[in-house]
Amino acid sequence: DIQMTQSPSTLSASVGDRVTITCRASQSISSWLAWYQQKPGKAPKFLIYGASSLESGVPSRFSGSGSGTEFTLTISSLQPDDFATYYCQQYNSYPYSFGQGTKLEIK
């Protein structure tokens, strides 16, 4: 099974900051990586697929990059609505697996 590891686990930042979250796979997953955003008490929201393609309606301040085993999610200028927990997910092979999550907090 493919293990997904995110770093950091918690990130404190301010509105307007540029932040980057890293996701590493235990083996190559090509570009079969997705990102999700989850706010407290809510279902996750689909943000990015194919490592770098934005889902329709997702603000352009979100971007993804990477391939193989190392991936990043970048938010170019944090907005108040962006404080949430972010998860990566590999879909290269069954069983699909998620990272443990990165909680983005207000500094």
Partner 1 sequence: EVQLVQSGAEVKKPGESLKISCKGSGYSFTANWIGWVRQMPGKGLEWLGNIYPGDADTRYSPSFQGQVTISADKSISTAYLQWSTLKASDTAIYYCVRSITGSTFDYWGQGTLVTVSS
Chain contacts with partner 1 (rule: CB under 8 A): 1, 32, 34, 36, 38, 43-46, 49, 55, 87, 89, 91, 94-101
Q: Give me the least distance between CB of 96 and partner 1, in Å please.
A: 4
SS3 79: coil
Cα–Cα dist 4/69, whole Å: 9
User: Do 82 and 101 meet the contact criterion of CB atoms below 8 Å apart?
Assistant: no
With a CB cutoff of 8 Å and minimum separation 6, the contacts of 89 are 4, 33, 34, 35, 36, 96, 97, 98, 99
Measured from the CB atom, the residue of 16 and 66 that comes closer to partner 1 is: 66
Measured from the CB atom, the residue of 9 and 77 that comes closer to partner 1 is: 9
Measured from the CB atom, the residue of 13 and 103 that comes closer to partner 1 is: 103
Q: Give me the least distance between CB of 6 and partner 1, in Å please.
A: 9
